[in-house]
Amino acid sequence: MIRTKYGEAKIVRSAKDIEEAIWKKTLATHCMDHRYYEIVEKTIHQGFDYHYAILTNECTGAVAVQPFFFVDQDITAGLPARIHSIITRVRTKFPRFLNMKILMVGCAAGEGTLDCAEPWAVEALHEAIGQYARKARAKIVLFKDFPSTYRGAFAGFSALGYMERSFQTLNLRPPHPSRTWQ
């Protein structure tokens, strides 16, 4: 259990670990039910470690569920084979060398959404995710593919040390000589 200023935040490792009543309450305004997250867990593996934060507002009785997942990112992926072979030798003594654990807030499928964008839920999410990321030794917390409509909800995050960045896939390999930008 993690304590936030609004109440308890419980972290569970599977959608099946969340009570049916909580799912019904939190997904009442959505066109899906909890089976969506169960299908995502069963079909999208790729080294993801799925979790869910169940946030509670003890004053109002409101509940929110926020999916998130961990991914172990090899930051040398895509480097030339010659450099990668050097890294591999270093990793015989230091297995985590140039690997980074990232906590990604949102579902692994589709764009990021908040179950509840009310200020209490966003603040509680920030507190809970921050504490859990430190406990799990995640080096980066990333809000995955959230549309610009959430900018208002996330406005306070920049004061708390978060930065808004737009990422694109980096290609570190030189382009093929026959391909030009002209």
pLDDT-derived band at 147 (thresholds 50, 70, 90) equals confident
Where do the domains of the chain lie, and which CATH numbers do they carry? 2-160 (3.40.630)
Contacts of 173 (CB under 8 A, 6+ apart): 78, 80
Over residues 17-64, the pLDDT tens digits come to: 999 999 888 887 777 888 888 889 899 888 899 999 999 999 999 999
Rounded distance, CA 141 to CA 130, Å?
8
- Model-level pTM? 0.81
